Amino acid sequence: MANALIALGANLGERDQTLSEAFLALTQIPGTQLRVRSRLHATRPIGGPTGQGEFLNAAALLSTSLPPSKLLEELHAIEAAANRKRVERWQARTLDLDLLLYDAEQIDGETACGGGPESEGLQVPHPRMSFRRFVLEPAAEVAPWMRHPSSDWTVTGLLAHLKNAENSIAVGSESKEAVRILAGKLGKACPDVRVLHYDPQQPRAKLVIWLGELPADTVASKLVLAGPTAVLPMPANDEERQAVEKEAIAAVEAAT
């Protein structure tokens, strides 16, 4: 049986009831046991349209004999039963279920049936879990010992870093010009946060935002990922640049 860490969230309708029903539905997934569930955490919405209601977030630790892709299909089916529509990443939702970790596996791009237009395919570990406090706080209640395989940090270690590190972010890339542009944008959008250029010789910032491909050197790449990290695509035009800037600002808000 594999250990699977699941994040739950809701900010539409009767959120408490929705999450209670979701926990029950998790117990009914074939070949799966719900081992531990967290308490409910109230959090502000991040990155989406203004005027959204407050989220309730939670986490669950499962033991399962299902492979990751099949487990993700089951999670999507539970979302669909709660009338979740997968259209836009940051939209309000009746229920959101994310597969955060599946033992120490690393998977990039497998597609689960019924993923919908919002789906990025199966990515494990979840690509944004390492810097999202609203994900890590409930996750640390149920699986503090689970290790994020890309960073090699535990769930508790990631959360402790976000809570205790200096309130700074570091922007890095193989392109110095891309770093200059994004760092300038973040400095204006997030005035309460110190914005630095990434330097592996300096103490680790609360969050590292990396643009484009990771360094080809294995050691350098591991250093970038060694902690809360948001890896974003290198924009090719103004439209993509605006989308990346929006994502970077949301990452800063989630980490701080």
Of the residues 37, 84, 128, 204, only one is catalytic, namely 84
Model pLDDT, residue 12: 84
User: Roughly what angle, to the nearest 10 degrees, separates helices 133-142 and 155-164?
Assistant: 140
| pLDDT score for 121 | 75
Query: pLDDT digits over 19-77, tens only?
Result: 999 999 999 999 999 999 999 999 988 866 666 778 999 999 999 999 999 999 999 99
User: Which of 93, 128, 133, 204 is labelled catalytic?
Assistant: 93
Q: Where are the beta strands (DSSP E) in the chain?
A: 2-10, 32-37, 41-43, 55-64, 96-102, 107-110, 122-124, 147-148, 153-154, 168-173, 194-197, 207-211, 229-232
Q: Is 192 a catalytic residue?
A: no
In the chain, which stretches have pLDDT less than 50?
A: 87, 111-119
* Nearest alpha-carbon partner for 4 in 91, 94, 107: 107
**132 tagged catalytic:** no
| pLDDT score for 119 | 42
The residue type at 250: A
How much is the pLDDT for 18?
94
- 98 an active-site residue? yes
Q: Which of 96, 128, 132, 133 is catalytic?
A: 96
Instruction: Exactly one of 37, 98, 133, 204 is catalytic; name it.
Output: 98
pLDDT at 117: 40
12 Ramachandran zone, left/alpha/beta (phi>0; psi -120 to 50): beta
**Structural domains of the chain ordered from first start:** 2-161 (3.30.70.560), 166-255 (3.40.50.2300)
Give the count of beta carbons closer than 10 Å to the beta carbon of residue 94: 18
Global pTM reads 0.90
Nearest by Cα to 5 from 159, 141, 113: 141
